Amino acid sequence: MAGVDLFGMLATVLWYALRIGAALQVLPVIGGRGIPARARLITTLALSAALSTVLPPPPPMGVDAATALGVLREFTVGVAIGLMLRLAFEAGQLAGEFVSQGMGLSFATMADPLSGASSPVLSQWFYLAFALLFFTVDGHLALVGLLADSYGGLPIGAALPDVQALLSAVPAFFGACLRAGALLALPVMMALLAVNIAFGVLARAASQLNPMAIGLPVSLLVGLLLLMLLMRELESPVRQLFEDAFAAARALTG
């Protein structure tokens, strides 16, 4: 009986782990700073071992400059794939920033699991809503399929088809994410603007009223009510945003 090439199997898993691990470093929800490094490592190795059984093995490589360039290439592709999905979540963070300004909650901040910095509480609310919808629409399964298909379009050791297109894909999708974030927050922002204008006119008509003491609680209550209504209509635009993100990521690997 032929012996099992354990070192060859390990090398294959490690080659697949380069792209998958790089993607998990920047992915939200299932990667990034919000997940412990040990958990990310276990997830990377598990996915790499599973994919190595259904994908062709990488070509043999020696210890030379070509191998170093291959490692760099795998990291670049993985980070680019992860950035596409991360930008979709950043649209929710942007919507939370806009709504926080109108509700007067911009001063209420907490740690952001994406960047490690502080961000408004409502940005975290949108992040959690996006995360729940991501698993609801089976985004995690689509992500595994995306990573597997990326090796078909761009195998290990193959040269990048168009470096310029790879570098310009992220800024192009970034504009779509900005537009999506603004459109998500626009209904709530316009309603809160109308409330603030109404209290401004009321304060001018009755100067003895304190707009800060009256307007801020009313804006907060109206904003929470509008967010509750927005949550019921959030699935369709967020699903479309995720589909655009996966399509942009697939375009990177041809």
Instruction: For 35-71, write each residue's pLDDT tens digit.
Output: 788 888 898 999 988 888 888 878 777 666 778 888 8
Q: What is the pLDDT of residues 202-214, one digit of tens each?
A: 777 766 666 666 7
Write out the chain in H/E/C secondary structure.
CCCCCHHHHHHHHHHHHHHHHHHHHHCCCCCHHHCCHHHHHHHHHHHHHHHHCCCCCCCCCCCCHHHHHHHHHHHHHHHHHHHHHHHHHHHHHHHHHHHHHHHCCCCCEEECCCCCCEEEHHHHHHHHHHHHHHHHCCHHHHHHHHHHHHHHHCCCCCCCCCHHHHHHHHHHHHHHHHHHHHHHHHHHHHHHHHHHHHHHHHHHHCCCCCHHHHHHHHHHHHHHHHHHHHHHCCHHHHHHHHHHHHHHHHHHCC
Q: Quick check: is 158 in a domain?
A: yes
Specify whether the CB–CB gap between 86 and 28 falls below 8 A: yes
What pTM does this model have? Answer: 0.81
The domain of 136 spans 6-252
Give the model's pLDDT for residue 114: 61
> Which pLDDT does position 134 carry in this prediction?
92
In the prediction, which pLDDT does 1 show?
39
The number of folded domains in the chain is 1
Which pLDDT does position 2 carry in this prediction?
A: 45
1 lies in some domain: no
Q: Which of 102-111, 188-197, 214-223 has the lowest mean pLDDT?
A: 102-111
Q: How far apart are CA 9 and CA 185, in angstroms?
A: 49
Higher pLDDT, 103 or 236: 236
Task: Please check whether residue 157 lies inside any domain of the structure.
Answer: yes
